[in-house]
Amino acid sequence: MLLVTFLWSIAGVVTRHLEAAAAFEVTFWRSASNAVALVFLLAWLQGPGALWRGLRRGGAVLWASGLCWTVMFTAFMVALTMTTVAHVLITMALAPLFTALMARGWLEQRLPARTWWAIGIAGLGITGMFANEVLNGRAQDLWGMAVALTVPVAGAAMWTLLQHHAGPRPAEQGGDAPADMSTAILLGAVASALLTLPLAWPLKASAHDIGLLAFLGVAQLAIPCVLAVKAGKVLKAPEAALLGLLEVIMGVAWTWLGASEAPSLPVLLGGALVLLALASNEVLALRSGR
């Protein structure tokens, strides 16, 4: 999971070294290379027959999960071209709290007091960041954060949907088995590439840009996403969430060191509140043993 977090965190600094590729073209090349890599990875791990059988039998859960991955893949890269890496990663870090809220509303799961406190404190941090952009008239950053906000919302919807369909259902209810998360990632990558290709046309990326984006598709998406699915079967949810927070810290640090993109003081303060709230909630969850 530490390796996964490290690989996820390099997207921002690599993107900052692109020459000509624009927002939708950036997303197209990254998603397309991710899809190609996943076909080979999943065929190797599951066997080619298992991959295609999963696509045919996954049911509505698989396709809905793929739709969520499509939103996440597309919105993440578009947001990176609109605002700073720090804005995007801190906004995306809200995913566990959105998941908790959706589980409360959809699955009627009770939330402990610590999670309500975490939601409130993290909300203050994000509100402060949004307010700073409004007061300073930086509409581009504001829109970038709004686009980035769709990533944790889509992620929360996906995890809540999968939990709702955690076991096989009776035949009279459709009989859908739980979706294979790895196959859903492949569906999301293919859909993201197909969706952004018309918007990216005519393609203007240089060979240098295509190389960097193909590297992201393989090393920053395909490999860590498959590893994360494997790690998630072993780690407790709070452990995985705590390790996942390192993506924010490392992603901001790489961009600061490798692209001279220093976060502003309001972003640092707002981000610190978000990370403090999330880390405290997960540490308390581990200590509670529930």
Q: Read off the pLDDT of residues 174-184 as tens digits, 9 standing for 90 and up.
A: 444 444 567 88
Cα-based torsion angle of the residue sequence 170, 229, 154, 111 in order, rounded to the nearest 10 degrees: 70
Residue 143 to residues 26, 110, 171, 182, 261, Cα–Cα distance (Å): 18, 33, 45, 31, 19
Domain count, the chain: 1
* pTM value > 0.75: yes
* 151: containing domain: 2-288
Q: Residue 201: CB partners within 8 Å, gap ≥ 6?
A: none
Q: What is the mean pLDDT of each run of 10 residues along the chain (290 residues)?
A: 90 86 87 91 77 72 88 91 86 82 76 80 78 72 88 86 61 45 85 92 88 92 84 73 80 86 80 82 74
